[in-house]
Amino acid sequence: MKKCPVCNAVYNDDMLLKCTNCGNDLIEEQQAYQGYTPPQNNYNNYQNVHNAYNSQFKICPNCGNHCDPRAVICVKCGVQFADMYKAPAVDDKPSGLLKVLCFFVPVLGLILYLVNMNSKPVSAKAYGKSALIGFIIGIVLYVGIIVLGILFSLIGLSSAPNIQVYPETDFFYSF
Amino acid symbol at 117: M
What lies within 8 Å, CB to CB, of 105 at 6+ separation is: 131, 134
| Neighbouring C-alpha atoms within 13 Å toward the C-beta of 39 | 13
Q: DSSP string spanning 84-123?
A: GGPPPP------HHHHHHHHH-HHHHHHHHHHHTTT-HHH
Q: Which of 74, 118, 126, 75 is nearest to 99 (CA)?
A: 126
The per-residue pLDDT for 54 is: 52
Note whether 16 and 2 are within 8 A (CB): yes
The per-residue pLDDT for 32 is: 45
> Per-residue confidence of the chain (175 residues) as pLDDT tens digits?
778 888 878 877 766 778 877 777 877 765 545 555 555 545 554 555 555 545 577 778 788 888 777 777 787 887 887 655 555 556 788 889 999 999 999 999 999 999 988 888 899 999 999 999 999 999 999 999 999 999 888 887 666 566 665 556 555 555 4
Amino acid symbol at 36: Y
Pairing relationship of beta strands 58-59 and 10-11 according to DSSP bridges: unpaired
Three-state SS for 10?
A: strand
DSSP bridge partners of 10: 3
pTM over 0.85: no
* Conformation bin of residue 87: beta by default, left when phi > 0, alpha when psi is -120 to 50: beta
